[in-house]
Structure 1
Amino acid sequence: MRRIPLAVLYSELSLTKNNFSPDMPSDQFGLVALGGDLSVDILIEAYSKGVFPWYDELPIKWYSPSERLVLYPDHFYATRTFKKWCLHEGRKLIYSADSAFSQVIYNCAQATRKGQDGGTWIKDEMISAYKELHNLGIAHSVEIWNKKPEYRSTQHDLIQKASMTDSNRRAIAVSPAECDLIGGLYGVSLGRMFFGESMFSTHTNASKLALWLLCHFLKRLQFTMIDCQVANDHLMSLGASVLVKRDFLSALDKSNRYPTLKGSWARLWEAELGTELSPALMPM
């Protein structure tokens, strides 16, 4: 990426607050500032102003592109193939939120991505920063688990489970010792917006299922949208659309007026969605 002089940018970041503003000038790639650090205060301020970091080398690059990819929770597009997979395979999996944040972000860092040339922008410093946000109840993860063969239910168990009430079914806790993590995602929650950072999948459709469940969860909590940052074909095929910067910042400003749902989402997630796909959660 072409380097541009700092004079063209808003400023070189200080290590204090008030580094960002919605009308910061940018280059053609959306780069608005260089420098600063990944401290909690700077990260929270950045997201609240529509800016996100890209950490591949120092100084840290901060972006607010002219077009923003977003996914409205009720706009997730489930293909016929995905619906069929959920019915036959997805219902055998277990899901959770905030049960394995560290595992999710490490897996995202190790995932091979098209055009990445063997590198990753999720370096140790990024991992440490978002783990700190998670400890503060601001960054969250969604996990998709596959039960290890020795712990899988017998046909008799499945019949018994099918006869359970929803409340009993939701009481089944995820036990990481009995499961393999096969997919997930993580991001930051502020106000009524979720800022998606990354996702991974080691099994077909696992990350897609995580995103579908996140949309369902956020819709129940009246979140407005998921910020997906930069347009890509995969997310657009799932229903994401592009907003111009002005419209995105307007939606962000409205979202910021609501209190942030801080703390672990694990219990709330289980209360709202359970731990396994029920008929009510199957994509239609």
Structure 2
Amino acid sequence: MRDDTPPLTPELLLQAYRSGVFPMSESRDDPDVFWVRPRLRGVLPLDGFHISRSLAKSMRRGDFVLTMDAAFTDVVKGCAARDETWINDAIFDLYVALHLRGDAHSIEVWQADRLVGGVYGVAIGGAFFGESMFSTVTNASKVALAYLTDHLRESGFTLFDTQFLTDHLASLGALEIPRQQYENALAHALAQPIRFQVPQVFPSAQDVIQRSAQTS
């Protein structure tokens, strides 16, 4: 029997995001990829990111150094380095390919020249589709999200898609919205003529904290 399933390519992946679906695999060792379109979608409102006192204190201490698109592949590896992961080889290669095209981006968190956390995702128009994050020290992934949310908001993005809602994300201000509401927000975001740009200079921790407090 002839298989009419189109090959999984970066172009197909971008088309899927524009349609409100994203890929997953059952496990690292499962070669198959399936598409997901949740009934309830996790989003992180760009004017609702919550920086707790403990997180603000950690940011002000200056223990972390932030970079963007400096170690994309290592961030994806960090996200996949857990007992249960949906990032198989095909998905890993796809996002690396998207990064090389300029469509996928990462924020890296360093401590003493060691990568200790990060987050990566895909940018299309005014929408950013967060894929995964990791942390090997306390607050590293939260710091990455704080800077990413600030960057998206300041750049004019209107949608930060987190796919699902977790307790971790909920503590930072994320919430669930119905599929139709998400797809309306997605259509609006995709119509925005915005390009994800790597800043020449990162904002200070205090600037990120103050802007978050002003908008949340």
8 A contact 1:189–1:260 mirrored in 2: no
8 A contact 1:87–1:282 mirrored in 2: no
Decide which of 125, 132, 137 is 1:191's aligned counterpart. Answer: 125
Distance in 1, matches of 2:95 and 2:194, equals 16
Structure 1 residues without counterparts, runs of 5 or longer: 1-11, 16-36, 113-117, 148-178
| TM-score in terms of structure 1 length | 0.68
Residue 198 of structure 1: CA displacement? 0.3
1:213 corresponds to: 147
**Count of matched residue pairs:** 206
| TM-score in terms of structure 2 length | 0.89
1:68 aligns with 2:41: yes
Structure 1 pair 59/106, CA: closer, same or farther in 2 (3 Å)?
closer
1:101 aligns with 2:67: no
Deviations 1:208-257 (A, max 9, x none): 00000001100111111210111211101110011100010001111111
SS at match of 1:200: strand
Distance in 2, matches of 1:211 and 1:66, equals 24
8 A contact 2:159–2:186 mirrored in 1: no
Deviations 1:148-188 (A, max 9, x none): xxxxxxxxxxxxxxxxxxxxxxxxxxxxxxx1111101000
Distance in 1, matches of 2:23 and 2:73, equals 19
Structure 2 residues without counterparts, runs of 5 or longer: none
1:14 aligns with 2:1: no
**CA RMSD, Structure 1 to Structure 2 (Å):** 1.8
- Quick check: which has more Rg, 1 or 2? 1
1:31 corresponds to: none
Residues 130-149 of structure 1: pairs in structure 2 closer than 5 A? 130-147=95-112
1:86 corresponds to: 59
Deviations 1:182-201 (A, max 9, x none): 11010000110100000001
8 A contact 1:38–1:126 mirrored in 2: no
Residue 59 of structure 1: CA displacement? 4.0
8 A contact 1:104–1:184 mirrored in 2: yes
1:231 aligns with 2:165: yes
